[in-house]
């Protein structure tokens, strides 16, 4: 059987696997009618991560389920459909009806089942853990994390001489990760990572701080994925100089993560802004 039903507290899940032909017995529609009748749930997630192909017959089953949900003011989302399945939906003109989301969290956000906070601890912790891990493994520096705080309008800019910046995008938010440090700390990082002394921050070594931001986001992405966040990465950039300013993408809330080192403080800023999702009318 290439699919199974899973009943959650507030939604149903139809988990697909392999190739779905539409000849399965009982049919997806029959299974849905039974599950929906027993549970009364009106929200459905079709988990497509392990599905390789769907046939025209199976597509008609999904559309019949969609129509049944619409008749009771319910909603339906696909999650993790591969390019082949997405192309098949688009060719048949139903990609705006059977909407595919990259992540489970994106689907739950459309349903209103996850809170759309600008900042939450489940989002921040992966960055905190990733920063400590990257500095320990890549820089041979042990960071001591301090208490994070929400940055206010009157708070000063990051107290660093050099900063690495990288944008973060997802279905439910967009923002920026920045990490800033003093020249003294940065030059010790250069020495530890490259095995050479540097007299000052220069165009020849400043890209290293951007790479650190990139590695931190890459490491955090793994943990974020387990929490339902699907994060897309971009190319990092860097700025340096006394009293330089970091320009965050968007205008969301900004969380500061301070870290203590033997040479002073390192500061990470995470700005996240909720983005609009597709139409809830679908």
Rounded Cα–Cα distance for residues 133 and 149 (Å)? 21
Q: Facing residues of 166 across strands?
A: 177
The pLDDT assigned to 115 comes to 60
The pLDDT assigned to 22 comes to 87
The pLDDT assigned to 95 comes to 93
ω into residue 26 within 30 of 0, thus cis? Answer: yes
Rounded Cα–Cα distance for residues 166 and 10 (Å)? 36
Cβ pair 6, 13 in contact under 8 A:
yes
Q: Are strands 232-233 and 162-169 parallel, antiparallel or unpaired?
A: antiparallel
Nearest to 166 by CA among 158, 156, 175, 157: 175
| Residue 131 DSSP symbol | H
Name the architecture of domain 121-274: 3-Layer(aba) Sandwich (3.40)
The pLDDT assigned to 224 comes to 84
Superfamily of 3-101 according to CATH: STAS domain (3.30.750.24)
Rg of the chain in Å (alpha carbons): 23
The pLDDT assigned to 258 comes to 94
The pLDDT assigned to 121 comes to 65
Helix (H, G, I), strand (E, B) or coil at 49: strand
Tell me where in the chain the CATH 3.30.750.24 domain(s) lie.
3-101
Going residue by residue through the chain, which has 282 residues, state the pLDDT in tens, using 9 for 90 and above. 688 999 999 999 999 999 999 888 889 999 999 999 999 999 999 999 899 999 999 999 999 999 999 999 999 999 989 999 999 999 999 999 999 988 887 888 888 887 655 455 677 889 999 999 999 999 999 999 999 888 876 666 666 899 999 988 877 677 889 999 999 999 999 999 988 899 999 998 999 999 999 999 999 988 888 777 778 888 889 988 887 777 766 666 788 999 999 999 999 988 876 654 443 434
First-to-last CA distance in the chain? 29
Q: Give the dihedral sign, CA 186/190/196/199.
A: negative
| Residue 157 DSSP symbol | P
Nearest to 259 by CA among 165, 127, 119, 152: 127
Tell me where in the chain the CATH 3.40.1550.10 domain(s) lie.
121-274
């Amino acid at each position: 059987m290439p699919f199974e039903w899973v009943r959650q507290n507030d939604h149903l899940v139809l988990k697909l696997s392999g190739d779905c032909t539409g000849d399965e017995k009982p049919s997806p529609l029959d299974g849905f009618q039974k599950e929906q009748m027993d549970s009364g749930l009106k929200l459905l997630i079709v988990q497509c991560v392990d599905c390789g192909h769907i046939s025209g017959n199976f597509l008609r089953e999904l559309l019949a389920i969609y129509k049944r949900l619409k008749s009771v003011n319910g909603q339906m989302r696909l999650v993790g459909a591969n390019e082949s399945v997405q192309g098949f939906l688009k060719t048949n003109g139903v990609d705006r009806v059977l909407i595919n989301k990259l992540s489970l969290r994106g689907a739950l956000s459309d349903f209103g089942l996850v809170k759309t906070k600008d900042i939450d601890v489940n989002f921040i912790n992966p960055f905190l853990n990733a920063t400590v891990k990257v500095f320990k493994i890549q820089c041979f520096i042990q960071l001591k994390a301090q208490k994070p705080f929400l940055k206010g309008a009157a708070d000063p800019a990051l107290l660093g001489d050099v900063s690495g910046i990288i944008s973060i995008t997802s279905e439910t938010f967009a923002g920026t990760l920045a990490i800033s440090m003093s020249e003294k700390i940065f030059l010790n990082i250069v020495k530890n990572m490259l095995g050479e002394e540097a007299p000052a921050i220069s165009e020849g070594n400043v890209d290293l701080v951007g790479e650190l931001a990139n590695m931190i986001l890459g490491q955090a992405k793994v943990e974020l994925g387990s929490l339902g966040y699907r994060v897309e990465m971009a190319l990092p950039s860097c700025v340096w100089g006394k009293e330089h300013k970091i320009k965050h993408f968007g205008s969301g809330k900004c969380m500061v993560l301070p870290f203590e080192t033997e040479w002073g403080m390192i500061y990470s800023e995470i700005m996240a802004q909720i983005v609009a999702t597709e139409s809830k009318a679908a």
